[in-house]
Amino acid sequence: MNERTMIGKLFAKAGETVSISGWVHVRRDQGKLVFFDFRDRSGLVQGVVLPGSEAMEAAKTVRQEDVITVTGKVNKRPEKNVQLGKANGDIELEVTGLEILNSADTPPFSLDDTSTIDENLRAEYRYLDLRSPRMQKNIRLRSEFVRRCRAFLFDKDFVEIETPLLTESTPEGSRDFVVPSRLHPGKFYALPQSPQQYKQLLMTAGFERYFQLARAVRDEDLRADRGFEHTQLDLEMSFVTQEEVMQTIESMITTVVEEMGYTLKAKPFPRVSYADAMKQYGADKFDMRTAEEKAAGVLAYAWVVDFPMFEKDDEGKWTFTHNPFSMPKPEHLESLMKGENIEHILAAQYDLVCNGFETGGGSIRAHKPEILEATYHVMGYRQDEVEERIGHMLKAFRFGTPPHGGIALGIERNIMNLTGETYLREVQAFPMTRSGQTAVMKAPKPLTDKQLGELGLSVKPRNDA
Ligand code: ASP
């Protein structure tokens, strides 16, 4: 048998006999003739089975979405039948052989456009949903965006480093997902809300420029643009100013999205103070695009800076606005150290917004133990509580931790902007449903008695259930 030719390369093979493999996209049985559209990852091509062809018997039985290998001759289509604007619209395959590699049940919904199909049905058959052109485009675009970001960062001397998934609860501000320990019954790991502390420790360790495509897991209420799991392009740099971190990210995004053919509304990205954003837009994330720019898919990135470092929580106590590890702006360091003028302390914090979403956020960090301690004292922690919470960070900071800062970009929110999607689930391969049910598989589900026994756990009804 001939070697496999990708459908997208058939145009260069006119007159030759080739073999393709893929799926039956469409079958049109016209009695004497059977027409097909065949599909592989590179595109679509029309096939025709002529009367008397050896492939006719198979052609009569084959069904939509069957997996096939087809042998045939690549013919230029008569001028009048050329389908302009269609991939491979000017050639067709005269099918001489058709082998079914695996037959397919009838899909539960049309794979042309799945956007109106019930969410739970799409989730159950996510592997079919993902065959739809829109999902193929979104997931491939996500991969391309990530690939280009990686390439940019490697070129700038960054090192990609993975950090643990089973870890200690971090003070990131959301509820943790926890994992029971079999070796230490009654004790629990937490899944990372972000690699914040590990990436700072990598600065102590002397890597200077770190990044990772990190999974962040937060037990938050689900919304259109927020799931339990998301991916962050997480990054940290040593010996840098706020300006240098922002420049690195701005240059990466500009390079990557322009290479991908997108138009930016403004270069350099506008900078807006938190106070001005609240005055002008009533929020710290905003959409600067005109209606025409929205229609044209323009990307309107902007930086929001000068955030208050603290706000009052429900009990009237000071708490951090973004990240307890942030440094105050240099001119406000003295206030923090003295615990004065708390409401006026601004953080060296920067958020990246685009088209109405917060797509990233980061800060310069408090790299000296006494500064981080001061933050915790403002938040009302006694010294022993500070040690208990972040003693390991304070210890590390005493061993020559350089000044450092970083940022995390939300991959899904960035891809939502690139694709124009309004739901996070359209840019993740296997998202959860709105009710927190996994795609295809059926988590969460009960553990067996044996598993519970090994973990030393027993399940009791929840107070509010
Ligand atoms: N860890 C922060 C977050 O997940 C980002 C950062 O400050 O680098 O929001």
Domains of the chain plus CATH, in order, are: 7-102 (2.40.50.140), 124-427 (3.30.930.10)
Specify the pLDDT at position 257: 98
- Give how far Cα 258 sits from Cα of 32, 152, 268, 327, Å: 50, 13, 13, 33
Cα 313 to middle of ligand 1, angstroms = 20
Specify the pLDDT at position 236: 98
Check if 323 has its Cβ closer than 6 Å to any atom of ligand 1.
yes
- Give how far Cα 386 sits from Cα of 194, 378, 390, Å: 20, 11, 6
Atom of ligand 1 nearest to the CA of 406: 8
The predicted-structure confidence for 104-132, as pLDDT tens digits, reads as follows 999 999 999 999 999 999 999 999 999 99
Helices 196-204 + 383-397 axis angle, to 10: 50
Residue with tokens 């969410």: 119
Backbone angles phi, psi at 457, to 5 degrees: -115, 145
Alpha helices in 282-403 (DSSP H): 291-295, 333-338, 369-378, 383-397
- For the entire predicted model, the pTM comes to 0.94
Specify the pLDDT at position 80: 62
Specify the pLDDT at position 420: 95
Check if 361 has its Cβ closer than 6 Å to any atom of ligand 1.
yes
Ramachandran region, residue 408 (left: φ > 0; alpha: ψ -120 to 50; beta: rest)? beta
Specify the pLDDT at position 82: 61
Specify the pLDDT at position 224: 80
Q: Write the CB contacts of 2 (distance below 8 Å, at least 6 apart in sequence).
A: 17, 18, 19, 71
Backbone angles phi, psi at 326, to 5 degrees: -70, 155
Torsion sign across C-alpha atoms 346, 171, 412, 284: negative
Specify the pLDDT at position 173: 74
Specify the pLDDT at position 225: 80
> CA 72 to CA 38: how far, in whole Å?
12
Check if 362 has its Cβ closer than 6 Å to any atom of ligand 1.
yes
Cα 197 to middle of ligand 1, angstroms = 10
Cα 230 to middle of ligand 1, angstroms = 13
Check if 195 has its Cβ closer than 6 Å to any atom of ligand 1.
no
> Residue 359 carries which DSSP code?
E
Atom of ligand 1 nearest to the CA of 363: 7
Q: Give the gyration radius of the chain's Cα atoms.
A: 28
Check if 194 has its Cβ closer than 6 Å to any atom of ligand 1.
yes
Check if 237 has its Cβ closer than 6 Å to any atom of ligand 1.
no
Percent pLDDT > 70 in the chain is 97
Cα 407 to middle of ligand 1, angstroms = 6
Check if 71 has its Cβ closer than 6 Å to any atom of ligand 1.
no
- Positions in the chain short of pLDDT 50: none
Specify the pLDDT at position 194: 95
**Measuring CA to CA, which residue among 347, 354, 363, 412 is closest to residue 236?**
363
Specify the pLDDT at position 222: 84
Task: Determine which residue's CA is closest to atom 8 belonging to ligand 1.
Answer: 407
124: how many CB neighbours lie within 10 A of its CB? 18
Coil vs helix vs strand at 23: strand
Residue with tokens 């690939």: 147
